[in-house]
Chains A and B, each alone.
Chain A
Amino acid sequence: MSYCVNCGVELHPGAKVCPLCQTPAWNPDLSDPSYFPTKPPEVLPVSKREAALLLTAMLASVSLCCGLLNWILPTERPWSLYVIGAAVMLWIWLVPPMLARRLPAFFKLTADVAAVGVYIWMISIDLNGGHWFRGLALPILGWICVIVFLLSFLLRDRRRSVLSAISLCIGAVGLLTLGIEFFIDRYLRGVWEPQWSLVVLVICVAVIIPLRIVRHVPSLREEAQRRLNL
């Protein structure tokens, strides 16, 4: 029979430490079996195959119905391609993550952006918009992809504080707007004259600076936590 010298409670004879305060117990009887079982529960991952199948069937039936309608009742434009493209895009976004237990973030992001790119490309073909697709849509899409990938890479570290994560997100918004204006200016005027994106960027920087100060000054950080009940 042993007692915790810190809490004053009686401990299990085999306990090496007090479970309440982690104070080491004196001379534990290691031959004494544990009071609780030590076998962890077996938890199988939930199968989302049925949900993936249902979603695939729904998207396929919508695409098929629209395609048939468009074929039976022909119009000037192949409008059903828009619906079919959207269905394919949704399928790529939703179904592979359901079937694969662990999909690498880079692969998932690339597939998602590629799906959007293909959809916009289909629209550009229908509207004879190869020029704006190559000059505007594709670079903006690529820029979004780069920013999101960088952000997800930086936020991967779970030890990062909430304030640091918020600062990174705000910084990403600033960079994103800067890039978007750059591509729009280059496409429309051929020269980069930053205006509205600079305003957004300055606001983002103005928010990030106090956040970084609060993050690095312990007294301010504690005060913020108290006031926000974090």
Chain B
Amino acid sequence: MAQAGKGWYKLDNAGILYSALQSEEYSAIYRFSALMAQPVRPAALQCAIERVMPRFPGFAVRIRRGLFWYYLEPNTAPGPFLKTDVSDPCQPVRFREDNGWLVRFYYYRSRISIEVFHALSDGAGALAFFRTLLAEYLRQLGYAIPAGDGVLNLDEPPRPEELEDAYARYAGSHAFRLRRLPRAYPGTGTPEPFYTFHVTMGFVPLDDLKEQARRYGASITEYLSAVLIQVLLEKQRRERPYREKQVALAVPINLRAYFPSGTLRNFITTVRPYIDPALGDYTFPEIVSQVRHFMKLHVNRQELQAAFTRNVRFTKNPLLQAIPMVLKNPVMALNYRLLGVRPYSCTYTNPGAFAVPESMRPHITGVEAILGQATVPRCHCASISYGDTMEITFAGTQAETDTEREFFRFLVRQGIPVRIESNR
């Protein structure tokens, strides 16, 4: 929760973790891009950034190192400034560089991109920020874009609930115990040199995808998760391991759908749909069914609350609070490796449809999402839909392309046309 009058903010649970993990090799950064109908005009976009930043105090911050935890404080330094885009996106963040800004803005031809450090906000919060930025950019170009329909009014002061720590607000009385999850198939490849980040995007018609998902009685997220699991199961089998491990995905769930909150900060938790090949072979319809039933069974208010309550208790524990950060951070990083990396084969996130007001639609032709690099050389998958196109991104630091290649080939075999773009 914002520390009223003190000019600083405590980090939420997710923010504490992502700050502790931050290093020269890894930072939790993600990117959203919008393809505009016309080439970007940098001066107008810079004006829009300057107009929008004060309305989003949760983004206009810098991170500071306290004795026990990191904390956020308003950033009064010049910027953030618009930059020309680079070939390898989602570069790790350095807290002391770029005037301490934790949000980056890029443009390339008709594409506008923002990159956000995950300690500030999750995908839903960043999309609200991005939507408002695009609306203001279009206003700067002379178009009349009214506030509303997800576009925040820049003339209104920020609402207190936008800055609330929703985890702390909704933490319940019961928490899941910390249990060690089984190690999953890592799906790692050959690491590329430092600061290389491969991005491969596939564009598919949303209607075709919906129809395929409906054939299996699943949602798009469940269907694409099942495709990813199928591809990783086959990849593991090709490697002929001595013992086949579970293939498990980390799928972030937006908690705002279950716990009403207007927060623009982090408010997500992850679920772990998985298939254990040690139990036998699964056909694709069986994998979809397993994922679908897992989601139906475990994505509910009570279980989600118990999951994030555990993390809230961790940060509120007086004993842990008293440990200096220099000692706490390595332990948290090790804990993340054991509980946040090893039990998963891949991360798949689907923030859903990018909805914009009717007046903005003719000016935006597409939207893209990229998840930043993993702590190990493997790819992360993200998807986002806009209009009648679903964009699916595989991004990672590994040299191999087998996961994305088999994923998109699978969709083609299912009768879904795929268009590919890549920075490889």
A interface residues with partner B (beta carbon < 8 Å): 4, 7-12, 18-21, 33, 35-44, 46, 226-227, 229
Any chain A CB within 8 A of the CB of B85? yes
Q: Which of B195, B200, B401, B421 contacts A43 (CB 8 A)?
A: B195
Cα(A104)–Cα(B421), bound, Å: 42
> Smallest distance from the beta carbon of B310 to chain A beta carbons, Å?
29
B412: A residues at CB distance < 8 A: 7-9
27 contacts between A and B (CB under 8 A): A4-B420, A7-B408, A7-B412, A7-B420, A8-B413, A9-B202, A9-B408, A9-B419, A9-B420, A19-B420, A19-B422, A19-B424, A20-B200, A20-B408, A20-B420, A20-B422, A21-B401, A36-B87, A37-B84, A37-B108, A38-B87, A39-B84, A40-B88, A41-B86, A41-B91, A41-B195, A227-B242
A21: B residues at CB distance < 8 A: 401, 405
Q: A21-B405, A40-B86 given as contacts; is B200 within 8 A of A10 (CB)?
A: no
Closest chain B residue, CB of each to CB of A22: B401
Q: Which of A8, A35, A37 contacts B421 (CB 8 A)?
A: A35
Output the residue of A4, A35, A37, A44 with the most chain B CB within 10 A: A37
Any chain A CB within 8 A of the CB of B94? yes
Cα(A10)–Cα(B85), bound, Å: 24
Cα(A36)–Cα(B401), bound, Å: 18
Any chain A CB within 8 A of the CB of B240? yes
Q: A36-B199, A226-B241 given as contacts; is B401 within 8 A of A10 (CB)?
A: no
Cα(A113)–Cα(B361), bound, Å: 68
Cα(A20)–Cα(B379), bound, Å: 14
Cα(A142)–Cα(B231), bound, Å: 55
Instruction: Please tell me if the beta carbons of A46 and B24 are within 8 angstroms of each other in the complex.
Output: yes
Cα(A5)–Cα(B263), bound, Å: 47
Closest chain A residue, CB of each to CB of B85: A37
B413: A residues at CB distance < 8 A: 8
Q: Which of B240, B419, B422 contacts A36 (CB 8 A)?
A: B422
Instruction: Please tell me if the beta carbons of A33 and B195 are within 8 angstroms of each other in the complex.
Output: no
- The size of the chain B interface, using a CB distance under 8 A, is 33
Given A21-B401, A226-B241, 8 further pairs, Cβ under 8 A: A7-B412, A7-B420, A8-B412, A10-B417, A20-B200, A37-B108, A41-B86, A227-B242
Instruction: Please tell me if the beta carbons of B94 and A46 are within 8 angstroms of each other in the complex.
Output: yes
> Smallest distance from the beta carbon of B32 to chain A beta carbons, Å?
15
> Smallest distance from the beta carbon of A144 to chain B beta carbons, Å?
30
Instruction: Please tell me if the beta carbons of B423 and A36 are within 8 angstroms of each other in the complex.
Output: yes
A7: B residues at CB distance < 8 A: 405, 408-409, 412, 420
Cα(A39)–Cα(B417), bound, Å: 30
Q: Which of A4, A40, A227 contacts B87 (CB 8 A)?
A: A40
Cα(A10)–Cα(B408), bound, Å: 11
Instruction: Please tell me if the beta carbons of B88 and A41 are within 8 angstroms of each other in the complex.
Output: yes
Any chain A CB within 8 A of the CB of B109? yes
Instruction: Please tell me if the beta carbons of B420 and A39 are within 8 angstroms of each other in the complex.
Output: no
A36: B residues at CB distance < 8 A: 85, 87, 108, 199, 421-423
Any chain A CB within 8 A of the CB of B339? no
Considering only residues 394-419 of chain B, those with a C-beta below 8 Å from chain A are 401, 404-405, 408-409, 412-413, 417-419
> Smallest distance from the beta carbon of A93 to chain B beta carbons, Å?
20
Closest chain B residue, CB of each to CB of A11: B420
Considering only residues 102-161 of chain B, those with a C-beta below 8 Å from chain A are 108-109
Closest chain B residue, CB of each to CB of A43: B195
A229: B residues at CB distance < 8 A: 241-242
Considering only residues 222-249 of chain B, those with a C-beta below 8 Å from chain A are 240-242
Cα(A46)–Cα(B199), bound, Å: 26
Q: A8-B412, A12-B421, A36-B421 given as contacts; is B91 within 8 A of A226 (CB)?
A: no
Q: A8-B412, A9-B412, A46-B24 given as contacts; is B87 within 8 A of A39 (CB)?
A: yes
B423: A residues at CB distance < 8 A: 36
Closest chain A residue, CB of each to CB of B92: A43
Instruction: Please tell me if the beta carbons of A37 and B87 are within 8 angstroms of each other in the complex.
Output: yes
Closest chain B residue, CB of each to CB of A40: B87
Cα(A124)–Cα(B419), bound, Å: 74
> Smallest distance from the beta carbon of B400 to chain A beta carbons, Å?
11
B240: A residues at CB distance < 8 A: 226
A9: B residues at CB distance < 8 A: 202, 408-409, 412, 418-420
B86: A residues at CB distance < 8 A: 37, 39-42
